[in-house]
Amino acid sequence: MTEPADKVAVEARYGRAANLWVGIKRFGGALTAREDRFFLLLAVMIGVFSGLSVVCFRMAYEWVRLWLLTSAEAPPKVRLLLVPALAGLLIAIFVKRFYPGLRGSGVNQTKTAVYISDGDIPFNTVWGKFLSAGLAIGAGFSLGPEDPSLQIGAGIASVIGRKLRLSRENLRLIAPVGAAAGLAAAFNAPIAAVIFVIEEVVGKWSSGILGAVILSAVSSVVVMRGFLGPEPLFSIPPVGPLHPVELLGYAALGLIGGGVSLLFVKVIVSLRSWLRTLPDWTQYIQPAIAGLLVGVIGIWLPQVLGAGYDVMDQTMHGRFVWQLLAVLALAKVIATSLSFSSGTPGGMFAPALFVGAMVGGAVGGLEHHFFPAVTGGIGVYALVGMGTLFAGFLRAPMTSVFMVLEVSGNYSIILPVMISNTIAYLISLKYQPVPIFDQLSRQDGLELPSLEEEREEESLHVEDAMHPPAAPALRAEKTIEQVRSDIEKSQQEWLLIYDRTRGWRLARRAELLEKAAKVPANTRLADIIPKEQIPIVHADNSIDLPLRKLGDRPFLPVVHRAHPERLIGIVSREDVLRAYARTGVEEVAIPGPS
């Protein structure tokens, strides 16, 4: 019996489609079979999506800028007075009525997602951030696109992760993967983005997360460069040889940069804190007033409007005299503080870089004025200044170094960058112990883990808890006759024995004496001690290590790293508790003896 021709055709068509789906399922099944492999694949996909989104975001605020403020660097005054104010009003209504979660820092919002919401970032946050930050930056608010890009990336990752029903642990990890992708695409600097996310959001270097973060960052940058070109953010002027004396100049930049970082943090935190004390309804007009004030500043100093990357680039080419650079730095601090504290969505990365470039350029210009023979180009100072503020203001010292190296592509400035950044970081650390992101999250009533505080916290070690052994360790190769008197004289219940081939053993004194009585005197001690090798610890180990290794043992031997047979001390559960109590360190839950 033959079937009608059209039915055969339909079956053939659907059969092919079914085969294709089976093939995709098989391929997908192979890729998704192992969670770790799948996670890496997912990181690439998130990177691609984030890269695309960041490109669109950039297009959005660039178009808005063109439409609202014209193509001139110094827009007409009327527009400067109207556009940021009206945009601020619109943004306030948008944020207050529809997306209240958009206020504040994207970094903190991503951390909130990681540490509080199990990696959950609603998709409307992505849209909301895209629209509101795009409008704000385009309308001239002194805010940067990196922070929103980071949050957009994290949001996309979170959405994809939820759709793929990732485990809770992986869902928590996927948001930073997206954050790195977003930041990398916004900065065109994958290394700096990876380090920032690890340094500030994740807080730990594990191979699983690192691989995913790198893959997502790289793939997003590849996508971004595919659309916007491979050019770095700045065209860096050539860097000449560095005069050794000039390092003093960079040290001065570090000092001044540290001071400006402190000022910047204080102004933002104080202004934000004060604005939060005002009645709730004022949140509708705060961005509008901030926009108006930013517009007024922009009439005289249009350079402070928006992210300001072009101005930074021009500073590196010596466009401005040092006096103007100093004024611009101050104006940017004010404009950014107004913009950010009013709750307008947008980031502080670009403004921090801007202030850093201006401060660097001003310091370089001033030094060049007085010491022209030993001072290099202003462009290098501006570049180093960016890293300095990044280290001092955002408190990301590693990121700051790599960011400068990555955007400059020049490793000859590594010394000035390290000197200046370190000084600024230390000044900021000394006089502003709580980093800005943590201060902002605390203002919002959130106690997010402070990764810097964790980093800087003094940790206890085994050597802080151990005490000297009451009796020397026995040697397993000796005969019972040789060690009998030592065992009998010992007052300890437990004795430590070192076996050259099998490590450390722990034995009850009574059991040892009992066994020794049953065997000939020339029997080796090794033959009667317990077979179980006990864990050892070293004096420099963290104090919590003995707790994890002790099990039901009364104590552990603390031995020399180079001479494992040498007993330095012993550490017990009680020793650890006493050490914690002595230093007033927060209590830890210690399992009781079994």
Partner 1 sequence: MPAGGGPCPRCAADLVSWRASRTLVLTLCALLLVPMFTTTGVIVRLFHDKQAKIAVNWERAGNINLQGGRAQTAIEDFHNALLYSPSSSKLQLELAEALTAQGQLAESENYLFNLRASDPDNALINLQLARISAREGDVNAAVTFYHDAAFGEWPSDTHASQIAAREELIEFLLKNNRGDQARAEALSMAADNPADPGVINEAAAYLVESGDTANALDQYQHVLRLEPNNVTALIGAGNTAFAAYEFSQADRYYSRAIVRGAKTPDIEADRDLAAAAAELDPFDARLDGRERQQRILQIFSAAQQRAQACMPAVLTNAATAPDDAKALAAARAALPAKLTLSVFNVHPEYADQALNWAFDLEKAVPSQCEGTLADRAIQVLAEENKES
Residue 231 contacts partner 1 per CB under 8 A: yes
Using the minimum distance from each CB to partner 1, give the nearer residue, 195 or 363: 363
Using the minimum distance from each CB to partner 1, give the nearer residue, 273 or 412: 412
> Of the candidates 437, 415, 146, 448, which has an alpha carbon nearest to the alpha carbon of residue 307?
146
Residue 317 contacts partner 1 per CB under 8 A: yes
What are the tokens at 247? 């390092």
Shortest CB 338 distance to partner 1, Å: 24
Residue 227 contacts partner 1 per CB under 8 A: yes
Shortest CB 28 distance to partner 1, Å: 3
Residue 45 contacts partner 1 per CB under 8 A: yes
Q: Which helix (H) or strand (E) holds 571?
A: strand 567-572
Q: Are 184 and 220 in contact (CB under 8 A)?
A: yes
Q: Are 357 and 382 in contact (CB under 8 A)?
A: yes
The residue to which tokens 């971004």 are assigned: 224
Shortest CB 241 distance to partner 1, Å: 14
Q: Which of 228, 374, 429, 590 binds partner 1 (CB under 8 A)?
A: 228
Q: Segment contacting partner 1 (CB under 8 A): 317-325, 385-393, 476-484, 532-540? A: 317-325
Using the minimum distance from each CB to partner 1, give the nearer residue, 98 or 309: 309
Calpha distance 36→42 (Å, rounded): 10
Strand partners, 477: none
Calpha distance 403→143 (Å, rounded): 19
Using the minimum distance from each CB to partner 1, give the nearer residue, 8 or 56: 56
Shortest CB 153 distance to partner 1, Å: 14
Shortest CB 163 distance to partner 1, Å: 5
Calpha distance 328→351 (Å, rounded): 11
Residue 29 contacts partner 1 per CB under 8 A: yes
Residue 522 contacts partner 1 per CB under 8 A: no
Shortest CB 76 distance to partner 1, Å: 13
Q: Are 378 and 314 in contact (CB under 8 A)?
A: no
Q: Segment contacting partner 1 (CB under 8 A): 120-128, 159-167, 389-397, 436-444? A: 159-167
Calpha distance 25→212 (Å, rounded): 23
Q: Are 211 and 348 in contact (CB under 8 A)?
A: no
Residue 536 contacts partner 1 per CB under 8 A: no
Residue 241 contacts partner 1 per CB under 8 A: no
Using the minimum distance from each CB to partner 1, give the nearer residue, 313 or 452: 313
Q: Which of 3, 6, 238, 409 binds partner 1 (CB under 8 A)?
A: 238
Residue 23 contacts partner 1 per CB under 8 A: no
Residue 33 contacts partner 1 per CB under 8 A: yes
Q: Which of 12, 17, 18, 56 binds partner 1 (CB under 8 A)?
A: 56
Q: Which of 2, 71, 522, 594 binds partner 1 (CB under 8 A)?
A: 71
- 46 CB contacts (<8 Å, ≥6 apart)? 153, 156, 157, 160, 174, 177, 178, 181, 216
Return the residues of window 353-392 that contact partner 1 according to CB under 8 A. Answer: 377-379
Applying CB under 8 A, what is the total number of residues that bind partner 1?
A: 49
> Of the candidates 66, 65, 53, which has an alpha carbon nearest to the alpha carbon of residue 141?
65
Shortest CB 172 distance to partner 1, Å: 14
Residue 284 contacts partner 1 per CB under 8 A: no
Residue 79 contacts partner 1 per CB under 8 A: no
Calpha distance 539→517 (Å, rounded): 36
Return the residues of window 114-153 that contact partner 1 according to CB under 8 A. Answer: none
Strand partners, 567: 559
**What's the burial of 69, exposed, middle or buried (CB within 10 Å: 0-12/13-18/19+)?**
buried
Q: Segment contacting partner 1 (CB under 8 A): 61-69, 263-271, 388-396, 499-507? A: 61-69
Residue 82 contacts partner 1 per CB under 8 A: no
Using the minimum distance from each CB to partner 1, give the nearer residue, 61 or 393: 61
Using the minimum distance from each CB to partner 1, give the nearer residue, 228 or 248: 228
Shortest CB 384 distance to partner 1, Å: 16
Return the residues of window 321-360 that contact partner 1 according to CB under 8 A. Answer: none
Using the minimum distance from each CB to partner 1, give the nearer residue, 55 or 194: 55
> Of the candidates 313, 317, 350, 310, which has an alpha carbon nearest to the alpha carbon of residue 332?
350
Using the minimum distance from each CB to partner 1, give the nearer residue, 12 or 59: 59
Calpha distance 263→426 (Å, rounded): 15
Helix 286-300 vs helix 322-341: angle between axes, to the nearest 10 degrees?
170
What are the tokens at 392? 């001092």
Residue 28 contacts partner 1 per CB under 8 A: yes
Calpha distance 540→167 (Å, rounded): 36
Q: Are 293 and 463 in contact (CB under 8 A)?
A: no
Residue 25 contacts partner 1 per CB under 8 A: yes
Q: Which of 19, 206, 235, 412 binds partner 1 (CB under 8 A)?
A: 235
> Of the candidates 153, 125, 85, 147, which has an alpha carbon nearest to the alpha carbon of residue 339?
85
Q: Which of 7, 165, 518, 531 binds partner 1 (CB under 8 A)?
A: 165
3-state helix/strand/coil string of 390-410: HHHHCCCHHHHHHHHHHHHCC
User: Which own/partner contact pairs does 521-524 have at CB distance under 8 Å and 24+ positions apart?
Assistant: 521/479, 521/480, 521/481, 521/484, 522/479, 522/480, 522/481, 523/479, 523/480, 524/476, 524/477, 524/478, 524/479, 524/480
Residue 318 contacts partner 1 per CB under 8 A: yes
Shortest CB 410 distance to partner 1, Å: 11
Shortest CB 432 distance to partner 1, Å: 35
- 356 CB contacts (<8 Å, ≥6 apart)? 257, 382, 385, 386, 387, 388, 389, 390, 393
Instruction: Name the site residues for partner 1 (rule: CB under 8 A).
Output: 24-25, 27-29, 31-33, 35, 38, 41, 45, 48-49, 52, 55-56, 59, 62-63, 66, 71-74, 160, 163-167, 227-229, 231, 235-238, 310, 313-314, 316-319, 377-379
